[in-house]
Structure 1
């Protein structure tokens, strides 16, 4: 069974993981965390988790997944903690950044099966959501979108441990908020499950439209089909396209760069290549001709820009994410005709954001295990 560490003593964890060792140097605001620094808090959270009967009743691998998430949940307070002008200590954005760091750690440094890694990252990214969900502008939409990334039942277990693993005066109120989160999830069919939608188009319609109802099923006309590839250099995107879409035209950023002799790091040239690729895509979209967009597309921002372009033409977008283990990735990258320098590849690993289920009508994960399709 996978485990982040067989030895779970804090002394050993500090010796093994530099990111654990640094936690003792990160202060916290005394109003919300009178217990002390992040290391003290994290140890208290782990103890609270282990004492929770809900955690104890989980399967062994599920317990380990949650334990790893608890260990990592504040990993990026180290880089986001600041002392404000009024003396208060804040760590804005630590959950989002922490999820990205957790992904890198569990991909490159401590190889972890894809599904487990993404479960941990989802828990880290959303670990404070149960405390603040009902204060969001649209709590239901926020919850439904989050439920596509994280097991909400596990999230509540982690949130309760996070609350109990601190010294503060508002602990009863925070635990009440988690209870409300649980009831809200159950009321809207999101407790430990993803809320079902009639189709991928219905899901996107709900998330994109301000006043859309979750049960609304939009009429789907015949749409141009676009396959949007996503994956680090060397993950096997070209091979996948040749195998599964041999007759489809391919909009390839690497191909355009090669034609124009654009070298890695040439920002102006890369910008021109992207614009040329978008114009070629528009030509296919206007003709309703299926095509593949082949590039790394490792950030949500980049994918969102492209999917927005495709959906302007009412396209059906299939987002295909490819991943291989880090050691295999570096080997395959070295063997590519246009290999990415090792340092640049590691920068891309650090920026990687695995596609979420809600980004397109259909999302396919090809990770060395049987391909998983979500639509």
Structure 2
């Protein structure tokens, strides 16, 4: 059955249904890049442009729905990032990255959406400006190939084209030229029809870890031992998953260390001590090449990266396993567990959630 955000398409209906759509009419935009006016006007123009494209009409109904939802959400977090600079210019730096998190929350909590479809939309929101700015990145190739692992580049280019067409500005023709170049660049780099294909999972990880690495280089596999890193919000079932699949491996758990030593989760100094204890035990396993499980929430990329960096220093193979169940089931699982996490803490953690991406480890598995 086809997933749909809503069967309603009239803007007045969307404003009544979704507070985040209603917010758009209150958010100004810089007159140089958006002479048409506020975010609501721009978003309506983007939707109209998208619907007019033959390439959009040639998509199947599900692909059309995903692109339409992405277009509706693409500037959702201009509401929280828009500021007026001292010179009077209006900017909204970071709105795409923050919009990704908001899109994920809306499609997890408010409008239940299958994981793959939700992450497709969230990634389109995050990367919607990339076709315009890829050449201004420090490493355009690496930025492009990283994006290709997470988003359909053809859909991304179509969204960017609608974004550029659905506005009034003097440099519109230049914006469209940039998108033409982006499409050609994707084809040149082998990531237009499908994600970039690397010689191996190790080659992929090596490329994104090393500054000057080639995407075609396949390094010698000298890894020893393995680390299974769990990732997921509290109450998603990480402990049960470990018992079912990795009960034969030693497990390091920050929660277990806290409970063993009766430490409070909100005590920063106690948490620091627990982390240090876990790190020292991890090093013992790593030196031996002993496989083990690292059990913690690990919900942000920054947190995961610091541990992955430690593990690969000892030449361990790292697999990140991300766990998720539907929103209502998650709340029930949390209420049924021995150590219930308060609702406000769950909400705060959900606001921070960054789903692991394929470039973060040797392997990334999604158990949803």
- Distance of 2:273 and 2:108 partners within structure 1: 32
- Superposition deviation, residue 205 in structure 1: 1.1
Tell me, in whole angstroms, the C-alpha distance in 1 between the residues paired with 2:246 and 2:332: 25
CA distance in 1, matches of 2:276, 2:331: 29
| C-alpha distance in 1 between matches for 2:265 and 2:254 | 12
Partner of 1:25: 26
Instruction: Give 1:136 deviation, angstroms.
Output: 1.7
Matched, 1:107 2:108: yes
Identify the residue that residue 339 of structure 2 maps to in structure 1. 338
| Runs of 5+ consecutive residues of structure 2 not aligned to the other structure | none
For 1:222-261, list aligned pairs within 5 A: 222-261=223-262
Where does residue 303 of structure 1 map in the other structure? 304
**Rounded Cα–Cα distance in structure 1 between residues aligned with 2:337 and 2:255:** 12
Q: Any idea what the Cα deviations from partners look like across 1:181-206, whole Å, max 9, x if unmatched? A: 00000111110311111222101111
Any idea what the Cα deviations from partners look like across 1:339-370, whole Å, max 9, x if unmatched? 11011001111111100111111110000xxx
Residues of 1 paired with 2:29 and 2:53: CA distance?
Answer: 24
Q: Give, in whole Å, the separation in 2 of the partners of 1:223 and 1:132.
A: 40
Q: Secondary structure at the match of 2:364?
A: strand
| Partner Cα separation in structure 2 for residue 266 and residue 319 of structure 1 | 27
Alignment of 1:73 onto 2:54? no
Aligned-pair distance for 1:264?
2.9
Q: Which moved more, 1:259-268 or 1:56-65?
A: 259-268
1:138-163 Cα deviation digits (max 9, x unpaired): 21111000101111100000000000
Residue 274 of structure 1, CA deviation? 1.3
2:64 maps to 63
- Tell me by how many angstroms 1:55 deviates: 1.0
- What does 1:332-371 correspond to in 2, within 5 Å? 332-367=333-368
Secondary structure of 1:229's counterpart equals strand
1:101 Cα deviation (Å)? 0.8
Which residue matches 1:174? 175
Partner of 2:184: 183
Q: Is residue 228–residue 318 contact of structure 1 (8 Å, CA) maintained in 2?
A: yes
Deviation at 1:137, TM superposition (A): 2.1
Contact 1:154 1:192 in 2 (8 A): no
Name the structure 2 match of 1:370: none
Corresponding residue SS for 2:319 = strand
Match in the other structure for 2:55: 54
User: Deviations along 1:96-154, whole A, 9 cap, x unmatched?
Assistant: 01101111111111111000100001100000000011222221111000101111100
Normalising by structure 1, report the TM-score.
0.97
Give the Å deviation of 1:263: 2.0
Whether the 8 Å contact between 1:100 and 1:353 is mirrored in structure 2 is: yes
Q: Distance in 1 between matches of 2:193 and 2:296?
A: 34
Deviations 1:39-71 (A, max 9, x none): 000000011011111111111111111111100
Partners in 2 of 1:301 and 1:135 — Cα distance?
24
User: SS of 2:318's equivalent?
Assistant: strand
Residues of 2 paired with 1:189 and 1:28: CA distance? Answer: 36
- Report the aligned-residue RMSD: 0.8
Which residue is equivalent to 1:286?
Answer: 287
Structure 1 distance, partners of 2:153, 2:77, is 22
Q: How far apart, CA to CA, are the structure 1 residues paired with 2:33 and 2:11?
A: 23
SS of the equivalent of 1:364 reads strand
Superposition deviation, residue 223 in structure 1: 1.6
Q: Structure 2: how far apart are the matches of 1:343 and 1:222?
A: 41
User: What corresponds to 2:44 in structure 1?
Assistant: 43
Looking at structure 2, the residues matched to 199 and 215 of structure 1 have their Cα atoms a distance apart, in angstroms, of 9
* 1:260-306 superposed Cα distances (whole Å, 9 cap, x missing partner): 11123222211211111111111110111000000111111100111
Contact 1:131 1:178 in 2 (8 A): yes
Secondary structure of 1:264's aligned partner: coil
Q: Secondary structure at the match of 1:363?
A: strand
* 1:15 maps to 2:16: yes
